[in-house]
Amino acid sequence: MLSESYHHILERMHAACEACGRDPQSVRLLLATKTVQPDVLRNVHALGARLFGENRVQEALPKWEALGDLDVEWHFIGHLQTNKVRDALSFATCIQSVDRPSLITALQQEASKRNITVNVMVEVNTSGEASKAGCDPSDVGSILAALSLAPNLCVVGFMTIGANTDDEATVRACFALLRTLRDTAIASGSAPATAVELSMGMSGDLEWAIAEGSTMVRVGSAVFGSRP
Ligand SMILES: *Cc1c(COP(=O)(O)O)cnc(C)c1O
């Protein structure tokens, strides 16, 4: 069951790459592991999964500890409160949800204290939906400016959640906007040339995200089943 759903996602990713002439190696699968128990994560690791994304620090820490013997790259993909930064940097090597200057200050401070470099992505609210996290597209420049002054933070790309609709044009416009923001930021020098990651696409819309240039899809329910 887990094996089938995991391999089905890999097949969907592969087919989506073929359909738009992209190299299947150019898109990574991050499993969104909120509410999923460590024994299940161990099983999906045995199938080949190596990249996990957690939304809540309190939930992530015990899982990360329980799976400490596995070679897994942990990302943080949820809203991050500044008072949780210390714990988040205990397990996550990439914070995908950087969306405001106060968070950059807190991350830089903690990364400096630990003498580590932390990968970050700028999360953008590309749909305009009030319920969604992420900075306004017009704030990307100022967020990148703040990041350029944070020597322990390395901008590796951009993250978004597509609009909550099954209208293809609407959802793809969100993903295309993130790609344009990335391309503009790199061309203008406000983001490093290496900030190429586009973390976009989930269980319901990964094909559209891959068609728009996604380099990392974040998938939960299509692999683990619907959440409680
Ligand atoms: C839960 C979650 C996902 C995965 O969503 P599914 O629809 O279950 O695939 C992706 N990104 C973020 C930020 C999430 O919180």
| Residues whose CB falls within 8 Å of the CB of residue 56, separated by 6 or more in sequence, listed in order | 34, 78
**Structural domains of the chain, ranges and CATH numbers in brackets:** 2-209 (3.20.20.10)
Please choose from 99, 131, 218, 224 the residue to mutate so as to test ligand 1's pocket, defined by most ligand atoms within 8 A of CB.
218
Q: How far is the CA of 177 from the centre of ligand 1 (A)?
A: 19
Q: How far apart are CA 224 and CA 32, in angstroms?
A: 9
CA 186 from centre of chain: 19
Residue nearest to atom 11 of ligand 1 (CA): 218
Q: How far is the CA of 34 from the centre of ligand 1 (A)?
A: 8
Give pLDDT tens digits along the chain (228 positions). Answer: 999 999 999 999 999 999 999 999 999 999 999 999 999 999 999 999 999 999 999 999 999 999 999 999 999 999 999 999 999 999 999 999 999 999 999 999 999 999 999 999 999 999 999 999 999 999 999 999 999 999 999 999 999 999 999 999 999 999 999 999 999 999 999 999 999 999 999 999 999 999 999 999 999 999 999 998
Amino acid at 188: S
Q: Contact 66/89 with Cβ under 8 angstroms?
A: no
Atom of ligand 1 nearest to the CA of 204: 7
Q: How high is the pLDDT of residue 228? A: 83
Is pTM beyond 0.85 here?
yes
Query: Interior CA angle at 21 toward 1 and 187, to 5°?
Result: 110
Structure tokens at 67: 């799976």
Instruction: Give the SS3 label for residue 197.
Output: strand
Residue nearest to atom 7 of ligand 1 (CA): 203
